[in-house]
A and B are shown apart, each in its own frame.
Chain A
Amino acid sequence: MVKRSNEAWLDALQGAGQSQQEALLDLRDYLVRTAFVYLRDGRSDLLLLSTDTLYEMAEDYAQNALLAIQDNLDKFRGDAQFTTWAYRFAINEAATDLRRRQHRDFSWEDVAGQETAVFASLLDPGTGGDPDVKAEREEFLQLLWQILENDLNERQRLALLGVYFQGRSMQEMAEILETTPNTLYKMLHDARKKIKASLLNQHYSAGDILGLFDAMW
């Protein structure tokens, strides 16, 4: 593979003729290697796949990345190596596809069930302990329920539960909510700000809250 300066990459890829073709072939080689090394060595969840399978996947991701890069050449900022910028497209392609393969069925009942399980575990009915602390925990959880119910709209609450309680990816949750990951991030940011403000307003810090439950764990 040929080493080029950022300017040389851009000149060749935005140009025409043989130099452009050579640059495209070289870039494709870089991207296949990027995707392959990521899949083979950077993903512990793919250990059972054969080298041939990983290589075929890497070729597909590289091809898609190459097309995306050609469409976005004018957005290269020049604040990093061109190859680093290009590798990001290959990693994005791979990670996005692998996330999609892991999508689970979604239902409101599942989300509500997970939420209930987490909160129920925090009530700790089975063990003894200081009754005052138990009362404080219950008071806090009641406040938290109120904040979730009153301060967030249904989509915010759903997004928050899906991402933080069920461990779904932003991409998966965005598809469930029929929005984009970027919009979902803003929705979650707004939700986090509201909950944080309400908790601070009631004089709770993260340390106070985690301290309340420390003895249980």
Chain B
Amino acid sequence: MSGKENLEQKIFTRWIETLFETQEHEIDCKQFQNYLPAFVEAEVTGERLGYTAVLTAHLHQCPDCEEIYQGLLFVVKADLAENWSSDTAADTAVPIGD
């Protein structure tokens, strides 16, 4: 199978999966963004929120919100690991500006 066919297979497979994952009622991007910070914190702590399924359904359908979710999850984990509010962490990751 060529790379092009492989890409077309992926596009088709993902599209069919996406279609059948469609829920009668889904939250929109604005609603998703409102719940996102708590959702990401719950993800980090392993907590399951009452509305996790609704948010996950939106994530599977929206590439832009998925990107924001992944980015926020990444920096929240980095914050936890490096403890950004501590003095010792202040100069380790960010170059001195100006």
Contact = CB atoms under 8 A, between A and B. Distances in A.
A209 interface: yes
B63 A37 contact: no
A179 interface: no
Interface in A1-57: 1-3, 29-30, 32-34, 36-38, 41-42, 51-52, 55
Contacts of A92: 33, 68
- Summarize A's interface: helix, strand, loop or mixed: helix
Interface of A: 1-3, 29-30, 32-34, 36-38, 41-42, 51-52, 55, 58-59, 75, 77, 79-81, 83-85, 87-88, 90-92, 94-95, 99, 117-118, 121-122, 163-165, 167, 169-171, 181-182, 185-186, 188-189, 192-193, 195-196, 199, 205-206, 209-210, 213, 216-217
Interface of B: 1, 4-5, 8-9, 11-20, 22, 24, 26, 28-30, 33-38, 40-41, 61-65, 67-68, 70-72, 74-76, 78-79, 84-86, 90, 93-95, 97
In the A-B complex, list the 7 residue pairs whose CB atoms are closest, starting with the nearest.
Answer: A80-B37, A3-B85, A206-B20, A91-B71, A192-B22, A42-B74, A170-B64
